[in-house]
Amino acid sequence: MATHRTQESLSPFETARAMSSLEPHAKDASYWASQMAAVSCRRDRDCFMRIYDHYAPRLRLYLRGIGSPEAVAEELAQEALLRLWQRAASYDATRSSLSTWLFRIARNLHIDRLRREPLWVPVDDEPGWPDRDEEGDVTSAESHAEQVDLRRRIERLPAVQARLIRMSYFEAKSHHEIASELAMPLGTVKSSLRRAFIRLQLGVRGQP
Amino acid sequence: MSPRHHLDEATVVSFAAGALSPEMRAVAATHMEGCAQCRESLAQAEHIGGALLGQQQAAPADAARGARLREAMLALLDAESAAEPPVRQEAAPTDPDALPRPLQPYFGRSWRGLRWRWMAPGVHMIRAARGSGDTLILLRIAPGKSMPLHSHQGTELTQILRGAYDDVLGHFGPGDVADLDNEIEHRPVTAPGAPCICVAALDAPLRFPGWLARKLQPLVGL
């Protein structure tokens, strides 16, 4: 391994950076899409377990980061991957990468776990994805290329924007929490996140 | 009719990241139900989450623990292959009396079931039971009414459900959302005709500059 610091001393975001330079193309979105295709067409358990082996530890780490205790993170990561197996037929590689799909399931499971209202609607049923015709005809080749491109853009975010994105996605911190933790005006937090989002939008070409 | 006032991109990012309070999330989800543009932004923000998850390096795991979890997953697959895949329920046909679904955990299922409380002349309110610490309220303001000038110490997210109001930012009608922070000072005036009903999430008390409004503040409890 090229990293000299131990992995525990790296934040998830730093590790993500180290990671992406270590194996840039070995296991990209198209690799996982092909594994997933085998799961949905053939119910291929080996392919599923390859997905499991890759994503289960990442999901557990992600869920702990956004506040799940260890045991809950383990349980929710298992549940997220089981849903992937159950709903494999509805996975559409042209709409989202496998990691986006898993991210969404894990986040929703985490939010549902925190809620106890009697009329709580599982977040899974929330409006979320644009209707197909709204998105246009995105071919899966395009979306794989866009995934690689998105990864590159994340690596190139200015330090402050990268930090706020990390605190949002990996620690589930609100604008208000970020503002008080970093002693930053709320307006600055919001405008930095806005700028980061604009830089990271897919399908927007020619931005640095 | 498509909304003309949308969520701030920073709010969409936090929605995607699961970083909004439940109250803010409920208001933002209500907006997204009727807003294709914000749903598209959400999909973009979720792609960022997916990319971050995919890039994340797995922590060196407790090997024995990891192996047990792996075994458990294989056992689940065995159990699953016997069972039928779950069928997702189709959405029920739209009931005109149904409240937007994201609001139902806080205010019940129907418009008719709402128990409005009088707050001030022409103003009725329902406050959701305390959840995470943020405030979630339904407001019903009589037509042609001017609200006191106020600014915000934190964020106010307001979705218009029925009726309309105007303020310095423009005209807000059904489906529009006002995503405001502490840089905005406004005095909403409801449109003539029908009452304006909106749902608002606040993460800090409002700030009223006028002496009368300040006197009212403790009474209104906002």
Among A1-10, A68-77, B48-57, B182-191, the minimum mean pLDDT is found in: A1-10
List pLDDT tens digits, range B44-87.
999 999 999 988 776 666 778 888 999 999 999 888 766 665 55
Answer positive or negative: Cα dihedral of B142, B208, B128, B17.
positive
CA atoms of A98 and A123, how far apart (whole Å): 19
pLDDT of residue A136: 44
* Neighbouring residues of B132: CB distance < 8 A, sequence distance ≥ 6: B21, B22, B23
Place of tokens 């506040």: A67
Task: Nearest chain A residue to B73 by CA: give it.
Answer: A78
CA atoms of B100 and B197, how far apart (whole Å): 13
Comparing CB atoms, the residue among A49, A56, A96 nearest residue B47 is A96
The pTM of the full predicted model, rounded to 2 decimals, is 0.83
Question: What is the fold of B1-83+101-222?
Answer: Jelly Rolls (2.60.120)
Q: Is the pLDDT of residue B219 over 70?
A: no
* ipTM reported for the complex, 2 dp: 0.84
H helix runs in B56-165, sequence order? 63-82, 104-107
Among A2-11, A184-193, B59-68, the minimum mean pLDDT is found in: A2-11
Pairwise pLDDT comparison (B82 vs A43), residue with the higher score: A43
CA atoms of A179 and A167, how far apart (whole Å): 11
For A198, B27, B145, B170, B177, the CA distances from A156, given in Å and listed in that order, are: 13, 33, 50, 37, 32
List pLDDT tens digits, range B116-133.
999 888 889 999 876 677
What percent of chain A clears pLDDT 90, i.e. is strictly above it? 44
Residue A146: pLDDT band with limits 50, 70, 90: confident
CB A162 within 8 A of CB A156: no
CB B42 within 8 A of CB B16: yes
List pLDDT tens digits, range B31-47.
999 999 999 999 999 99
Strand partners, B159: B177, B199
Question: Across all residues in chain B, what is the average pLDDT?
Answer: 84
What is the set of domains in chain A, with CATH numbers?
A: 1-126 (1.10.1740.10), 156-208 (1.10.10.10)
List pLDDT tens digits, range A78-119.
999 999 998 888 888 777 888 999 999 999 999 888 776 555
Section A40-46 average pLDDT: 89
Q: In chain B, which residues have their Cβ closer than 8 Å to the Cβ of A49?
A: 70, 73-74
Q: In chain A, which residues have their Cβ closer than 8 Å to the Cβ of B46?
A: 96, 100, 103-104, 128
Our CA dihedral for A200, A126, A108, B161, rounded to 10 degrees, sits at: 80
Comparing CB atoms, the residue among B17, B74, B86 nearest residue A86 is B86
For A137, B59, B119, B151, the CA distances from B123, given in Å and listed in that order, are: 48, 54, 6, 19
CA atoms of B42 and A127, how far apart (whole Å): 10
Residue A1: pLDDT band with limits 50, 70, 90: very low
